[in-house]
Protein backbone atom coordinates (compact mmCIF):
# COMPACT_ATOMS: atom_id res chain seq x y z
CA UNK A 1 0.00 0.00 0.00
CA UNK A 2 1.25 3.46 -0.94
CA UNK A 3 0.23 6.09 1.58
CA UNK A 4 -0.32 9.70 0.50
CA UNK A 5 -0.27 11.82 3.64
CA UNK A 6 -3.27 14.11 4.14
CA UNK A 7 -2.42 16.77 6.72
CA UNK A 8 -4.25 19.73 5.24
CA UNK A 9 -1.55 20.78 2.78
CA UNK A 10 -1.00 19.79 -0.83
CA UNK A 11 -3.01 19.05 -3.93
CA UNK A 12 -3.90 15.52 -2.95
CA UNK A 13 -6.19 14.75 -5.86
CA UNK A 14 -3.60 15.72 -8.49
CA UNK A 15 -0.87 13.81 -6.69
CA UNK A 16 -3.07 10.72 -6.36
CA UNK A 17 -4.01 10.79 -10.04
CA UNK A 18 -0.37 11.17 -11.10
CA UNK A 19 0.74 8.28 -8.88
CA UNK A 20 -1.95 6.03 -10.33
CA UNK A 21 -1.05 7.08 -13.87
CA UNK A 22 2.59 6.25 -13.08
CA UNK A 23 1.67 2.73 -11.98
CA UNK A 24 0.59 2.82 -8.32
CA UNK A 25 -2.10 0.22 -7.69
CA UNK A 26 -3.12 0.82 -4.10
CA UNK A 27 -3.06 4.47 -2.98
CA UNK A 28 -4.37 5.28 0.48
CA UNK A 29 -4.93 8.99 1.23
CA UNK A 30 -4.83 9.29 5.00
CA UNK A 31 -3.54 10.99 8.14
CA UNK A 32 -4.12 7.89 10.29
CA UNK A 33 -0.86 6.98 12.07
CA UNK A 34 -1.90 3.31 12.17
CA UNK A 35 -2.21 3.18 8.38
CA UNK A 36 1.05 5.10 7.99
CA UNK A 37 2.65 2.39 10.11
CA UNK A 38 1.58 -0.23 7.57
CA UNK A 39 2.56 1.66 4.41
CA UNK A 40 4.94 0.14 1.87
CA UNK A 41 5.78 3.58 0.42
CA UNK A 42 4.95 7.09 1.64
CA UNK A 43 4.42 10.37 -0.22
CA UNK A 44 4.33 13.65 1.68
CA UNK A 45 3.04 16.55 -0.45
CA UNK A 46 3.12 20.18 0.63
CA UNK A 47 1.91 23.55 -0.59
CA UNK A 48 2.23 26.88 1.22
CA UNK A 49 4.41 28.06 4.06
CA UNK A 50 6.88 25.79 5.86
CA UNK A 51 5.55 26.77 9.29
CA UNK A 52 1.95 26.05 8.34
CA UNK A 53 2.84 22.65 6.90
CA UNK A 54 4.94 21.76 9.96
CA UNK A 55 2.03 22.78 12.19
CA UNK A 56 -0.34 20.65 10.10
CA UNK A 57 1.82 17.58 10.68
CA UNK A 58 2.15 18.29 14.38
CA UNK A 59 -1.61 18.75 14.75
CA UNK A 60 -2.30 15.08 13.99
CA UNK A 61 -1.55 13.05 17.10
CA UNK A 62 1.09 10.44 16.44
CA UNK A 63 1.63 11.28 12.77
CA UNK A 64 5.19 12.60 13.01
CA UNK A 65 6.13 9.68 15.21
CA UNK A 66 4.59 7.16 12.79
CA UNK A 67 6.43 8.76 9.88
CA UNK A 68 9.73 8.64 11.76
CA UNK A 69 9.28 5.01 12.72
CA UNK A 70 8.25 3.80 9.26
CA UNK A 71 10.62 5.93 7.19
CA UNK A 72 13.71 6.41 9.34
CA UNK A 73 13.69 3.39 11.65
CA UNK A 74 12.23 0.85 9.22
CA UNK A 75 13.56 2.39 6.01
CA UNK A 76 10.65 2.27 3.58
CA UNK A 77 10.67 4.45 0.46
CA UNK A 78 9.70 8.07 1.06
CA UNK A 79 8.99 10.87 -1.41
CA UNK A 80 8.56 14.49 -0.34
CA UNK A 81 7.07 16.94 -2.85
CA UNK A 82 7.65 20.73 -2.70
CA UNK A 83 7.18 21.75 0.95
CA UNK A 84 7.01 18.02 1.71
CA UNK A 85 10.65 17.93 0.61
CA UNK A 86 11.53 21.06 2.59
CA UNK A 87 10.09 19.55 5.77
CA UNK A 88 12.85 16.93 5.64
CA UNK A 89 15.33 19.68 6.62
CA UNK A 90 16.44 20.60 10.11
CA UNK A 91 14.53 23.86 9.98
CA UNK A 92 12.67 26.27 7.78
CA UNK A 93 13.55 29.95 7.89
CA UNK A 94 10.27 31.44 6.72
CA UNK A 95 8.25 33.86 8.87
CA UNK A 96 10.62 32.92 11.70
CA UNK A 97 12.45 29.67 12.31
CA UNK A 98 10.45 26.44 12.47
CA UNK A 99 11.90 22.99 13.22
CA UNK A 100 11.59 20.45 10.43
CA UNK A 101 11.72 16.66 10.56
CA UNK A 102 15.52 16.71 10.69
CA UNK A 103 15.97 13.79 8.31
CA UNK A 104 18.51 15.47 6.03
CA UNK A 105 20.75 18.25 7.30
CA UNK A 106 19.98 21.72 6.03
CA UNK A 107 17.51 24.56 6.13
CA UNK A 108 15.22 26.47 3.80
CA UNK A 109 15.68 30.09 2.80
CA UNK A 110 14.14 32.44 0.28
CA UNK A 111 15.22 32.37 -3.34
CA UNK A 112 17.55 35.17 -4.38
CA UNK A 113 17.80 35.30 -8.18
CA UNK A 114 19.39 38.79 -8.01
CA UNK A 115 17.75 39.70 -11.30
CA UNK A 116 14.83 42.17 -11.34
CA UNK A 117 13.37 40.36 -14.35
CA UNK A 118 13.01 37.16 -12.31
CA UNK A 119 10.20 37.23 -9.79
CA UNK A 120 9.71 35.33 -6.56
CA UNK A 121 7.87 33.00 -6.36
CA UNK A 122 9.67 30.97 -8.98
CA UNK A 123 6.72 29.73 -11.00
CA UNK A 124 6.77 27.72 -14.20
CA UNK A 125 9.03 25.38 -16.12
CA UNK A 126 12.75 25.18 -15.42
CA UNK A 127 15.51 22.62 -15.90
CA UNK A 128 16.41 20.05 -13.27
CA UNK A 129 20.00 18.87 -13.72
CA UNK A 130 20.66 15.42 -12.17
CA UNK A 131 23.88 14.75 -10.30
CA UNK A 132 25.61 11.44 -11.07
CA UNK A 133 23.82 8.12 -11.31
CA UNK A 134 20.58 7.41 -9.49
CA UNK A 135 16.84 7.54 -9.91
CA UNK A 136 16.95 10.56 -12.22
CA UNK A 137 19.33 8.79 -14.57
CA UNK A 138 16.99 5.80 -14.58
CA UNK A 139 13.91 7.93 -15.18
CA UNK A 140 15.27 10.59 -17.52
CA UNK A 141 18.76 9.75 -18.72
CA UNK A 142 19.69 13.43 -18.36
CA UNK A 143 18.30 16.85 -17.51
CA UNK A 144 14.59 17.58 -17.91
CA UNK A 145 12.28 20.57 -17.72
CA UNK A 146 9.86 20.30 -14.80
CA UNK A 147 7.29 22.55 -13.13
CA UNK A 148 8.11 24.65 -10.05
CA UNK A 149 6.00 26.83 -7.76
CA UNK A 150 7.96 28.04 -4.72
CA UNK A 151 9.58 31.00 -3.00
CA UNK A 152 11.92 29.09 -0.68
CA UNK A 153 14.50 26.41 -1.35
CA UNK A 154 16.23 23.59 0.53
CA UNK A 155 19.86 24.42 1.32
CA UNK A 156 21.48 21.06 2.09
CA UNK A 157 24.32 21.04 4.61
CA UNK A 158 26.03 18.28 2.62
CA UNK A 159 26.12 18.85 -1.17
CA UNK A 160 26.28 15.08 -1.59
CA UNK A 161 22.60 14.96 -0.59
CA UNK A 162 21.63 17.01 -3.65
CA UNK A 163 20.37 14.71 -6.43
CA UNK A 164 19.53 17.46 -8.93
CA UNK A 165 20.20 21.18 -9.22
CA UNK A 166 18.24 24.03 -10.74
CA UNK A 167 19.32 27.56 -11.55
CA UNK A 168 17.12 30.62 -11.12
CA UNK A 169 19.13 33.69 -11.96
CA UNK A 170 22.15 33.69 -9.67
CA UNK A 171 20.51 31.27 -7.22
CA UNK A 172 21.42 27.62 -7.70
CA UNK A 173 19.23 25.49 -5.50
CA UNK A 174 18.41 21.83 -4.90
CA UNK A 175 15.74 20.65 -7.32
CA UNK A 176 15.94 17.28 -5.57
CA UNK A 177 17.61 15.69 -2.59
CA UNK A 178 18.21 11.99 -1.97
CA UNK A 179 19.79 9.75 0.60
CA UNK A 180 19.21 6.02 1.07
CA UNK A 181 15.40 5.52 1.12
CA UNK A 182 14.66 9.27 1.10
CA UNK A 183 13.82 11.32 -1.99
CA UNK A 184 12.58 14.89 -2.11
CA UNK A 185 11.72 17.03 -5.12
CA UNK A 186 11.18 20.78 -5.09
CA UNK A 187 9.23 20.65 -8.34
CA UNK A 188 5.77 19.14 -8.79
CA UNK A 189 5.96 15.81 -10.65
CA UNK A 190 2.17 15.75 -10.86
CA UNK A 191 2.36 18.94 -12.99
CA UNK A 192 5.46 18.00 -14.95
CA UNK A 193 3.81 15.83 -17.62
CA UNK A 194 5.96 13.02 -19.07
CA UNK A 195 9.05 13.87 -17.03
CA UNK A 196 7.05 13.83 -13.80
CA UNK A 197 5.32 10.54 -14.58
CA UNK A 198 8.62 8.94 -15.58
CA UNK A 199 10.16 9.94 -12.26
CA UNK A 200 7.18 8.71 -10.27
CA UNK A 201 7.22 5.45 -12.20
CA UNK A 202 10.88 4.86 -11.39
CA UNK A 203 10.34 5.71 -7.73
CA UNK A 204 7.39 3.34 -7.44
CA UNK A 205 9.58 0.47 -8.65
CA UNK A 206 12.22 0.98 -5.98
- With cut-offs at 50, 70 and 90, classify the pLDDT of residue 12: very high
Q: Which residues contact 25 (CB under 8 A, 6 or more apart)?
A: none
Clarify whether 188 is annotated catalytic. yes
**Residue 28 annotated in active site:** no
Of 16, 53, 82, 94, which is the active-site residue?
82
Alpha-carbon gap, residue 179 to 149, rounded angstroms: 23
pLDDT given at position 94: 83
Give the DSSP per-residue string, 188-205.
Answer: -GGGSHHHHHHHHHHHHT
Beta bridge partners of 78: 42, 182
Res 130 pLDDT > 90? yes
Taking the C-alpha atoms of residue 168 and residue 121, their distance in angstroms, rounded to an integer, is 11
Nearest to 146 by CA among 162, 125, 176: 125
Banded pLDDT at 132 (limits 50, 70, 90): confident
Q: Average pLDDT of 133-151?
A: 94
Whichever domain contains 63, its CATH number is 3.40.50.880
- How large is the average pLDDT for residues 24-43? 96
The count of C-alpha atoms lying within 13 angstroms of the C-alpha of 92, restricted to the half-sphere facing its C-beta, is 23
Tally the domains of the chain.
1
Instruction: Tell me if residue 170 is catalytic.
Output: no
Residue 3: pLDDT band (50, 70, 90) is very high
How confident is the model at residue 45, as a pLDDT?
A: 96
Q: What band does 123 get if pLDDT is binned at 50, 70 and 90? A: very high
Looking at every residue in the chain, the average pLDDT score rounds to 96
Per-residue pLDDT, 22: 97
The 10 Å Cβ neighbour count of residue 172 is 13
Average pLDDT estimate for 163-184: 98
pLDDT at 206: 85
Per-residue model confidence (pLDDT) at position 10: 76
Contacts of 59 (CB under 8 A, 6+ apart): 7, 8
Q: What percent of the chain has pLDDT above 90? A: 93
The answer to whether residue 201 scores a pLDDT higher than 90 is: yes
Catalytic residue among 107, 122, 150, 188: 188
Separation between Cα atoms, residue 131 and residue 143, nearest integer Å: 9
Tens of pLDDT, residue by residue over 54-89, are 999 999 999 999 999 999 999 999 999 999 999 999
- pLDDT recorded at residue 56: 95
Residue 49: domain span: 2-204
Amino acid sequence: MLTLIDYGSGNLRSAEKALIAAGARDVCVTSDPDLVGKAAQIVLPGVGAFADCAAGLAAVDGLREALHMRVIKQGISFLGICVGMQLMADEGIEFGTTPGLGWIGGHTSILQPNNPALKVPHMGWNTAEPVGAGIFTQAWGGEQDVYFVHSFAFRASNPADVAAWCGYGEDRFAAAIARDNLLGVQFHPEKSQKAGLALLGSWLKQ
